[in-house]
Structure 1
Amino acid sequence: MDLNLIRIFVAVYSNGSYTQAARALNISQPAVSQAIKRLEDSVGMPLFIRQGRGITPTAKAVSMAEPLETAMNLINGAFSSERRLLGYGVEAVLHSIGKLDGIKFVLPPSDQSQALDDLRTNKVELMVDNVMTEDPAFVSELLSEQPIVVVCREQHSRLTTETMTREAFYNEEHVVLKTRRGGSQLLDVLTPESLEPRNETMEVTALSGMAMMISSSDLIGIMPVSFARLWENKLSLKIMPMPIKSLPLALHLVYHRRFTDDQHHRSIREQIRERVNQHL
């Protein structure tokens, strides 16, 4: 059996598309189609059938997929102990992970669907984010949950106590993150109640930029508590509980199921979990 045929079959099955498989493998779609036809001739029955504009696996393909994907992961793992993964990681958790041999983290795109497509096509191999998905192609593990807090500078001209009122929250000027998910800002997603309009005076692209701006002005901002504690003493910040109801920020470790048994990938995941758990 040609090992390349198995590699292409696994890619088609996991991506649910000849086109996406071709993109992930960096080969042409006709080459993918021809490989699947050769494999079908070898097993003596069809593996995928056309359904609308897409394809769906046959019962034979389903029965073959798991053992072949496991075998390919083991084979890939035998040659990948020194490879360097590329992953998406949000700033809210990267300070917890720090420098980790074997992986390079970059910030994810603001479009959640694009980030998942990049995982599907192997542009990146894992993601640490507040992304939520029920797509069965991915494994999504809860990595941590932490409250969000309000942050201001210690010498704020009006916020002189250790807490703030709901009225003060809406009266003060806010610095907010530019990043949005699903068209909403983070606070919109994590607040179960209807929000009043906030006085959004400034927009930044990073939590670190938010912390710096807060330290040198009377602006207030909202960030995860672990990130706020990181800068609390360095920038003379004050951390206050949210004066409105809010849910904890849930960060997930998300990766494609093709990497479940990959030895190197699994080692990186274990180190990420350990680093985050130690930091929180």
Structure 2
Amino acid sequence: MDLNLLNTFMKVYELQSYTKAAEHFNISQAAVSMRIKQLEADIANTLFIRKGRSIEPTAHANYMMTKLAPASDLVYEALFKVGHKIYAPDLLVYDLANLDIDVFTPPLNQEQIFTDIRNRKVDLVLDFVTINDPSVVSEKVSEEEVMVAVRQDHPRIVDSITEQEFYNERHVSINVRREKSNLFMLLSDAPKPRDIAHEATSLVSQLAYVAHTDAISITPKRLAAIATKLGVKLLACPMKMNKAPISMLYHRSFLHNDEHIKLRQKVKNKISLRN
């Protein structure tokens, strides 16, 4: 079926006038009338009836609009709306949840992330990763302070923790997307061996494990609200820890793209509100 017939029908239905629909499409009233007659012939149903000098939709026309209106919105969105796909860790995904952006967990394989950037399969990546690649732009957008996560009713740790106590406890580790590295090793100037009780797949699952065991972990301060809801308290680190750098990575072809510039600024503004 010719989609022009459906477009004409919906505009006539909206305006309740062949004349106004003709003006909208910049065609003659006769052409509009011909399209409606063709559509009526195709579906074997009358769509509009004359009522004085105006027209009125039939029951079948009313039914058609209940189905066509939402379908038309979907078609318009698919053709004209600029959609964006972002990779972001759970550290940031909750901050980005209310933006009109599709946010996905980054692939576990670091090289896959870079491949997706190079192939334009993702518009933006937010993560602890960096890359030295002429086709990829890397901007540091945040530095996250880290703290020690401990369950609120821990039997040995109350309101503070010493370095000795830190290393005496079992730990939950969270890997970052760098080969054979985890968050603690990445940020500590002089990391010592720890007793690893569990390797978590995400920062939130790491906190969930802490909430149900005596194990402790290193976690970004940004997750304090979620930690509290899980029954976890965050304490100051007893040793010097560097801040966790979050980088924004994207393909260089997007550098001067107006829509992408708006996307980057929107993401930066949202992250900075909690930074």
Deviation at 1:182, TM superposition (A): 2.2
Q: 2-side partners of 1:248 and 1:275: how far apart?
A: 19
Query: Paired residue for 1:196, among 188, 192, 198?
Result: 192
Preserved CA contact (<8 Å) 1:149 1:239: yes
Q: Counterpart in 2 of 1:82?
A: 81
Q: Counterpart in 1 of 2:216?
A: 220
Query: Paired residue for 2:250, among 234, 252, 255?
Result: 255
Deviation at 1:97, TM superposition (A): 2.0
Preserved CA contact (<8 Å) 2:131 2:138: yes
Q: 2-side partners of 1:277 and 1:180: how far apart?
A: 23
SS class of match (2:259)? helix
Preserved CA contact (<8 Å) 1:86 1:105: yes
Report the AA paired with residue 97 of structure 1.
L
SS class of match (1:272)? helix
TM-score, normalised by the number of residues in structure 1: 0.66
Of 216-225 and 132-141, deviating more is: 132-141
Report the AA paired with residue 171 of structure 1.
N
Q: Counterpart in 2 of 1:164?
A: 161
Residue pairs, 1:1-40, within 5 angstroms: none
Q: Counterpart in 2 of 1:16?
A: none
Q: 2-side partners of 1:212 and 1:231: how far apart?
A: 10
Query: Paired residue for 2:183, among 183, 186, 196?
Result: 186
Q: For each residue in 1:210-247, what CA deviation from the matched residue of structure 2 results, as whole angstroms up to 9, or x when unmatched?
A: 112212221111111101x1223312321111222211
1:106 equivalenced with 2:116 (yes/no): no
SS class of match (2:207)? helix
- Check 1:153–1:256 CA distance in 2 against 1; reply closer, same or farther (3 A cut): same
Q: How high is the sequence identity, in percent, across the aligned residues? A: 29
Please, which runs of 5 or more residues in structure 2 have no aligned partner?
Answer: 1-77
1:95 equivalenced with 2:94 (yes/no): yes
Larger Rg: 2
SS class of match (1:109)? coil
Deviation at 1:250, TM superposition (A): 0.7
SS class of match (2:273)? helix
Report the AA paired with residue 264 of structure 2.
R
Q: 1-side partners of 2:177 and 2:82: how far apart?
A: 32
SS class of match (2:215)? coil
Preserved CA contact (<8 Å) 2:175 2:183: no
Report the AA paired with residue 174 of structure 1.
H
Preserved CA contact (<8 Å) 1:190 1:246: yes
Please, which runs of 5 or more residues in structure 1 have no aligned partner?
Answer: 1-78
SS class of match (1:275)? helix
- Check 1:80–1:188 CA distance in 2 against 1; reply closer, same or farther (3 A cut): farther
Preserved CA contact (<8 Å) 1:153 1:236: yes
TM-score, normalised by the number of residues in structure 2: 0.67
Higher relative contact order (CA 8 A, sep 6+): 1
Preserved CA contact (<8 Å) 1:154 1:236: yes
- Coordinate RMSD, CA, aligned: 1.9
